[in-house]
Amino acid sequence: MINPVGSAELQPLFVYDSELHHQLSHEAESLPSVVISSQAAGNAVMMGAGYFNPLKGFMTVADAMGAAEKMTLTDGSFFPVPVLCLLENTDAIGDAKRIALRDPNMEGNPVLAIIDIESIETVSDDQMAVMTDKVYRTDDMEHPGVQAFNSQSRVAVSGPIQVLNFSYFQADFPDTFRTAVEIRNEIKERGWSRIVAFQTRNPMHLAHEELCHMAMDRLDCDGLVIHMLLGKLKPGDIPAPVRDDAIRKMVELYFPPNSAMVTGYGFDMLYAGPREAVLHAYFRQNMGATHFIIGRDHAGVGDYYGAFDAQTIFDDEVPEGALEIDIFKADHTAYSKKMNKVVMMCEAPDHTKEDFVLLSGTKVREMLGQGIAPPKEFSRPEVAQILMDYYQSIQ
């Protein structure tokens, strides 16, 4: 199996030893504590689950700046984005060196992790501006990722963490949320050796489904991991439970047995385009995938990124040898009326736009809301029915 990034074995930060977990949970109740941001909580969950291996905790400002500017930490190791715990102030901490970090996304703010504080620093406006520019390639506050990142406070608390729970993800998505540890174990149990991962924050239409089949065939893979984001999205995105139902129905009906896993991970979408694509590849290697599909405008939003920037970054900016996972570079896929099948548009040079079945997201949402199924060349009818039921329920 492919090695995790930066180590021979996965090193998740969740405390799996039950006795130690009980001891730490008890200790946490007597420690000074702070409620952290949703972004910091997502980072803690990802570290706990092994996806951010081999990080040991939240970064110093120097490491965060290194990650942003050149994807390299002060010790020379590779990481593509800052992983910060930003607080409004340290009033609740005092001079404590060990504190509890509380979850902002669950009622009662339960303890998410314990941190051993190694440094407390103030992030300057200039440093926030540099990180924003390097990671998001824009400082436009209309960009949802820029807005979320900059709405955090400026006091950075860094140090190693011990993670005690996986926030709401395990309880709300018991059939879908999986740690990198669990996915690696299931890959072994299934006997897969070449595995391609597919990232999604949306339901999968026929073109997405066929892209996965295409990648599996061309890469000679024996397994597909559909890995959906379960954290916070932007307004208007389809809720995770609906996406989950739609994707599971598609896999049940249109993939051979033991060829696809439907899983999810707990993290807030960054919408950082190219830089987020690198992060996605990073944690897909940690979960055991040997290949990762990156298509047009991967992890983008609006018109902030070029159509293939999320592919070229791997050739132009990722340090040589930083990742072992291979990237399957895909173009936009659509149903060809001439060929009567889904194709990559770049592989049909004799086609005009009219030769493809193309529907805008707005048009599809309108149709679904009116109880009209998109054409079979665009969406499987069973998937469309689940989405129609959802859109009609919110009207």
Model confidence at 395: pLDDT above 90: no
Q: What is the pLDDT of residues 59-73, one digit of tens each?
A: 999 999 999 999 999
User: Which pLDDT score is estimated for 360?
Assistant: 82
pLDDT category of residue 366 using cuts at 50, 70 and 90: confident
Instruction: Give this prediction's pTM.
Output: 0.94
CA angle 39, 138, 77 (to 5 degrees): 60
User: Which pLDDT score is estimated for 85?
Assistant: 97
Q: What is the pLDDT of residues 78-104, one digit of tens each?
A: 999 999 999 998 998 989 999 999 999
Name the average pLDDT for the chain: 95
Residue among 175, 277, 259 nearest 209 (CA):
259
pLDDT category of residue 359 using cuts at 50, 70 and 90: confident
The residue among 364 and 273 whose pLDDT is bigger is 273
pLDDT category of residue 114 using cuts at 50, 70 and 90: very high
User: Which pLDDT score is estimated for 99?
Assistant: 97
Model confidence at 10: pLDDT above 90: yes
User: Which pLDDT score is estimated for 201?
Assistant: 85
- Mean pLDDT across the stretch 190-217? 95
Sequential DSSP letters for 320-343: TTS--SEEEE---EEEETTTTEEE
How many angstroms separate the CA atoms of 376 and 373, rounded?
8
- Mean pLDDT across the stretch 10-27? 98
The answer to whether 43 and 291 have CB atoms below 8 angstroms apart is no
User: Which pLDDT score is estimated for 202?
Assistant: 86
Residue among 103, 123, 120 nearest 111 (CA):
103
Q: What is the pLDDT of residues 214-259, one digit of tens each?
A: 999 999 999 999 999 988 766 777 888 899 999 999 999 999 999 9
User: Which pLDDT score is estimated for 276?
Assistant: 97
How many angstroms separate the CA atoms of 371 and 365, rounded?
10
User: Which pLDDT score is estimated for 362?
Assistant: 80
Q: Which residues are tagged catalytic?
A: 201-202
How many angstroms separate the CA atoms of 323 and 282, rounded?
7
